[in-house]
């Protein structure tokens, strides 16, 4: 079984913070192999010993109690448990990486930002690259991409800013030894400087080819941004203040953003790269006509947008309407028929 302790490369960041862009650039490096969002670590982090899910097909609390009691009695305690988890993930990462002959497997899964203490325990010698972005840009893109620009529905489904900013800030306050932090706005403005720093952290040579990410596709199928990052072949600053046009002059959205950041600590915002006093500064230079045009709803009809829009419509009141009741009946009969 391969030892992956120094051969893993984690790109950490909230959803819609530019992690797919950074992954695509690092995918150009001859020493790095990657695939879209494996999501291997989040389930391991919630097996019970460190954390457990609120809902599962078993009793999560009992699993938590049982795991803690069992691991406490192991000869090596927590270290034995970590070795067992590492054996699982080493096998999967290693067998995916081995045929490529490359040095690193790069895992870019945004949800890992919420289990960083566990990830650092499991792989303390991995390379960790943390990418942060203006919190309002993250939320605006999240609402636009997944909720057809319905900001209320987006925050109700996932208060992404309140969840990810404190989690990533805590990691930045106590980073691992092989680590680099870069802000999205700086990365797209000066990619060479920051890619050189990332390569230095991973002890691999820099190449100008990393910037021209559009000349090579990422292998495999998986989750991630299939639309935005593919619009360009190299980093661009065009999206840096795009969120401001979606907000300027819109009192409801400004109030929603103000409420979001009221719940965040000043230190967390500072570490994230966006001090509280500077959060709304990009609104100052926005032309009101341009903002009104940007906020005017434009319907896209590509496959990805149509799928998202259809899901939003179908999920509305799904537990109360006829469609939801029908689907529950169908699921019941499927469970009965497929039961072994």
Domain edge (last residue) among 193, 209, 235 = 235
Please state at what angle helix 60-72 crosses helix 78-97, rounded to 10 degrees. Answer: 110
Q: Are 303 and 140 in contact (CB under 8 A)?
A: no
Edge-to-edge strand list for the sheet holding 8-12: 32-36, 104-108, 8-12, 127-132, 179-183
Note the pLDDT of residue 56: 83
Confidence of residue 7 (pLDDT cuts 50, 70, 90): very high
Domain edge (last residue) among 215, 235, 255 = 235
With respect to residue 160, please indicate whether it lies within any of the assigned structural domains: yes
**Alpha carbon distance 143, 136 (integer Å):** 11
| Phi-psi region at 242: left, alpha or beta (left = phi > 0; alpha = psi -120 to 50) | alpha
Number of separate domains in the chain: 2
Run of H or E including 181: strand 179-183
With respect to residue 85, please indicate whether it lies within any of the assigned structural domains: yes
Q: Which residue has the higher pLDDT, 51 or 319?
A: 51
Query: Does residue 330 carry a pLDDT above 80?
Result: yes
Q: Are 32 and 103 in contact (CB under 8 A)?
A: yes
CA dihedral 171, 173, 178, 180 (to 10 degrees): 90
Query: Does residue 25 carry a pLDDT above 70?
Result: yes
**Alpha carbon distance 325, 331 (integer Å):** 10
CATH of the domain at 231: 3.40.50.300
Q: Quick check: helix, strand or coil at residue 183? A: strand
Q: How many CB atoms lie within 10 A of CB 87?
A: 10
> Domain containing 201: what range?
8-235
CA-based nearest residue to 30, from 97, 101, 96: 101
With respect to residue 212, please indicate whether it lies within any of the assigned structural domains: yes
Q: Are 114 and 39 in contact (CB under 8 A)?
A: no
Full-model pTM: 0.86
Confidence of residue 276 (pLDDT cuts 50, 70, 90): very high
Same domain, 230 and 141: yes
Domain edge (last residue) among 179, 204, 235 = 235
With respect to residue 1, please indicate whether it lies within any of the assigned structural domains: no
Q: Are 137 and 97 in contact (CB under 8 A)?
A: no
Same domain, 93 and 184: yes
**Alpha carbon distance 29, 10 (integer Å):** 15
pLDDT digits (tens, 9 = 90+) for 200-217: 999 999 999 999 988 888
Query: Does residue 339 carry a pLDDT above 60?
Result: yes
């Amino acid at each position: 079984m391969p030892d992956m302790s120094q051969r893993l490369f984690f790109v950490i960041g909230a959803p819609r913070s530019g992690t797919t862009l950074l992954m695509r650039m690092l995918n150009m490096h001859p020493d790095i192999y990657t695939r879209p969002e494996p999501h291997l670590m989040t389930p391991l982090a919630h097996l019970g010993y460190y954390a457990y899910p609120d809902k599962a097909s078993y009793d999560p609390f009992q699993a938590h109690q049982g795991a803690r009691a069992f691991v406490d009695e192991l000869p090596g305690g927590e270290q034995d448990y970590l070795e067992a988890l590492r054996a699982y993930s080493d096998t999967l990462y290693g067998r995916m990486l081995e045929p490529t002959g490359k040095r690193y497997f790069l895992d870019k899964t945004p949800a890992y930002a919420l289990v960083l203490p566990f990830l650092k325990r499991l792989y303390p010698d991995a390379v960790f690259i943390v990418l942060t972005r203006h919190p309002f840009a993250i939320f605006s893109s999240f609402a636009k991409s997944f909720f057809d620009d319905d900001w209320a529905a987006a925050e109700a489904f996932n208060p992404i800013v309140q969840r990810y900013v404190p989690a990533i800030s805590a990691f930045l306050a106590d980073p691992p030894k092989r680590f680099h932090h870069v802000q999205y706005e700086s990365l797209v403005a000066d990619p060479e400087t920051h890619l050189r720093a990332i390569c230095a952290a991973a002890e691999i040579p820099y190449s100008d080819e990393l910037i021209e990410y559009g000349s090579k596709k990422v292998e495999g199928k998986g989750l991630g941004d299939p639309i935005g990052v593919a619009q360009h072949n190299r980093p661009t600053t065009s999206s840096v203040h795009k969120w401001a046009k979606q907000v300027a002059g819109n009192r409801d959205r400004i109030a929603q953003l103000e409420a979001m950041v009221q719940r965040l600590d000043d230190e967390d915002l500072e570490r994230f790269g966006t001090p509280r006093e500077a959060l709304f500064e990009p609104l100052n230079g926005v032309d009101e006509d341009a903002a009104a045009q940007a906020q005017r709803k434009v319907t896209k009809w590509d496959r990805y947008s149509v799928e998202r829009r259809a899901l939003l419509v179908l999920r509305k009141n799904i537990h109360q309407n006829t469609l939801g009741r029908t689907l529950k009946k169908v699921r019941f009969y499927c469970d009965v028929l497929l039961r072994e």
